[in-house]
A and B are shown apart, each in its own frame.
Chain A
Amino acid sequence: MSSRQNSSITTRNIVTVAILASLGGSLSTFVGYLGNLVNLSLGVPFGAGQFMAGLHVFWLILIRAIVAKRGTGTMGGLLKGLVELFTGSTHGIVIVAVSVVQGFLVDMGAEVAGNPHDSGTASRLVWWLSAGIAAASNVFVLQAFYFSGAHWILLTVIATLAFSSGVIFAGYFAWETLEFLKDSRVLSNSFSSTRPPTASRRRVTYRNIPAIALVIFIIVGSFYYTVAVAQIFSDPYSCTVTGLVENPYTYSPQAFVGQEVTVQAELQGANIHLDPANYTGILLSTILEAAVPMAETTGVRIMARDGYTILLDLDEVMTDTHLLLTEAEDGLWLVAGNYDGALWIRMVTTLEVY
């Protein structure tokens, strides 16, 4: 019957995904409660609750393992997210994005790992690792929405906690659950064939267009976010010199050894004042000269990792002997001795000539 519409997904498959997504969504409150209990038992207000992150992915792994069909992880993630949205998740529609990404990662892992029912140790390991990665992904999706500028060490710690939770609860525990379901014979008739019926090439291509579009969107989005927005993998002691210059390059203090200058400067802010101190680094004029600004340029835009941006007049920059980039504990600092304290910038990432 239903095979006329879609040769690979049966009505039973759809019902299984829907029911497990519904159960997972309805138990999310209980999982949240357990997370709060873990927080309380450790005496921390938040964060430790990520130790329960794997329990959200547990359902997606279960869906993908029971309905061993391509895309059911993502479908389950979308449904579970929508169920949580409609039951009043405190993250609103963001929970749908979190859940879809988790489901997609579970699908990706399943593609690599293969059939969960007759898998060996290596395959099982891939399943468990993909469960961990899917659980950790929630940290990065939430970071993109709510925690812009979070330090990568903090993110790594929380993501590691979530990853461990994923391996334990969505990996080990999910497999234990599958074994239990097999033993209790609940699954005996529910397992679907691992070899989907053949379909025409054109039909398969057409069917996969949304998945291909999603993959492209995620890859392009991740690339854009990593390169243009987050810059989390860039060396904190380097910055990009770009814009209207003939020789764009990545500045690194090691390339300017012997050209350091030491200036005495004091931070004079509107509300705060820091005593004069000596700062050693490379003058901004030296750094920009190496890039060879074009003739028509008038200014330089200086950007920091947290998104803070200032504009300076290029002519003034090129003649300023108290404007330099120095190395500090968290990256490159712009020391602007002749300017207001608001123009002293931490964690400089980009110098753009315009």
Chain B
Amino acid sequence: MTIEHQSTESGSILHRLNPSLKLAGLIIITTGILIYPSWRFSGLLLLLTILGFKASNVPLDVSKRRIRFLMAFSALLFAFQVLMTANGTILFFIIPKYDFMGPFLPVTDFGIEKGFDMSLRFLLVVFSSMLFVSVTDPTLLAHSLTRLGISYRYSFALVIALRFLPLFDMENKTVKMAQRSRGISISVRGMSRILRTIRYTFFPLLVSALSRVDALSLSMDGRGFGHSKSRTYLRKSSWTALDSAVLVLLSALLLASILLTLGFLPQISAII
């Protein structure tokens, strides 16, 4: 297990932004499209996100399997909304009238609009999250959270969690290979086999993981972790004028979402 699209050493604007601001941006975008559900608004933000990938020189080269999943799930969301929405101008029926039967399952313009809204919302959430991960260093994120007032003892937990990922991934592979060498294969046929599969995978990993707790916590205590209210850092996040400007833009975006929902911007809501 590796950190997806791990932050690259790039000098792009998005890379240089404060990590907490980027997290706030991600939350604002997600909240904004929830407050003002519009496929045009989601589409516009998705376009900006894709431009963000370009601007930060982050390749959008996710695996084919993942792209397939994203597209399939997006299509599923679209179909689901179209089928579940009965109101609007009926364009056609999926099951047309035959003799005295039907018609059933109307497809309406409102349903299609909602379908686009949901599928674009999904793609926006996923791609904006991917962009966030790509341009954010978790260690700097932990530091910036500390600067916001969160105790470094808690924000450091994120660093620990991410730092152990490669180790657990390696151990997971080792456990699987060990099981295979003993003739134990993954099986989901029946509850007992599912539990057996999970037990044989989880138990060795759990024991291995928990056995590291004592050593790590003693080591941290021995180095004075938690002794002082503040600590020193090798790498620090910073807040610049650019961050302030982006914060203003993000606040404006959130405010615009609220005003659009409340109907205070009718000219703009007619467009997006």
- Tell me the A residues contacting B by CB distance below 8 Å: 1-2, 4-6, 9-12, 14-23, 25-27, 29-30, 34, 37-38, 41, 45-46, 55, 58, 62, 66, 75, 79-80, 82-83, 85-94, 144-151, 168-169, 173, 176-177, 180-181, 184, 186-187, 189-190, 267, 269-272, 274, 304, 306-308, 330, 340-342, 345-347
Contacts and interface: CB of A to CB of B under 8 A. Distances in A.
Nearest to B85: A306
Most chain A Cβ neighbours within 10 Å, of B26, B89, B195: B89
Contact of A82 (B84, B161, B194): B161
Nearest to B212: A19
Contacts of B3: 86-87
Contact of A30 (B80, B133, B201): B201
Most chain A Cβ neighbours within 10 Å, of B62, B77, B207, B224: B207
A148 B206 CA distance: 38
B18 interface: no
Contacts of A168: 191
B126 A91 contact: yes
A32 to B, nearest CB: 10
Given A12-B217, A145-B121, A149-B81, A27 B202 contact: yes
A343 B93 CA distance: 17
Interface residues of B, number: 90
Interface stretch (B149-157, B233-241, B250-258): B149-157
A270 B108 CA distance: 11
Given A34-B188, A92-B129, A181-B210, 9 more contacts: A19-B212, A62-B206, A75-B157, A79-B157, A89-B129, A90-B73, A93-B26, A267-B90, A306-B86
A339 to B, nearest CB: 12
A90 B84 contact: no
Most chain A Cβ neighbours within 10 Å, of B103, B109, B206: B206
Contacts of A189: 214
Top 8 nearest A-B pairs (CB, nearest first) are A88-B4, A92-B129, A2-B226, A308-B87, A18-B160, A12-B217, A342-B89, A22-B161
Contacts of A89: 129
B186 to A, nearest CB: 7
Interface of B: 1-5, 26-27, 30, 34, 37, 62, 66, 69-70, 73, 76-77, 80-81, 84-93, 103, 106, 109-110, 114, 118, 121-122, 125-130, 132-133, 138, 151, 153-154, 156-158, 160-162, 164-165, 168-169, 172, 186, 188-189, 191, 194-195, 197-199, 201-203, 205-207, 209-214, 216-217, 220-221, 224-227, 229
Contact of A308 (B88, B161, B216, B227): B88
Given A25-B161, A79-B161, A85 B129 contact: yes
Contact of B221 (A11, A149, A150, A307): A11
A345 to B, nearest CB: 5
A117 to B, nearest CB: 16
Contact of B87 (A14, A22, A90, A306): A306
A158 to B, nearest CB: 12
B165 A25 contact: yes
A22 B168 contact: yes
A1 B114 contact: no
Contacts of B162: 22, 83, 86
Contacts of B1: 25-26, 29, 87
B110 A308 contact: yes
B225 A17 contact: no
Contact of A184 (B114, B129, B207): B207
Given A26-B169, A34-B197, A16 B210 contact: yes
Contacts of B88: 308, 342
A150 B85 CA distance: 9
A306 B84 contact: yes
A288 to B, nearest CB: 20
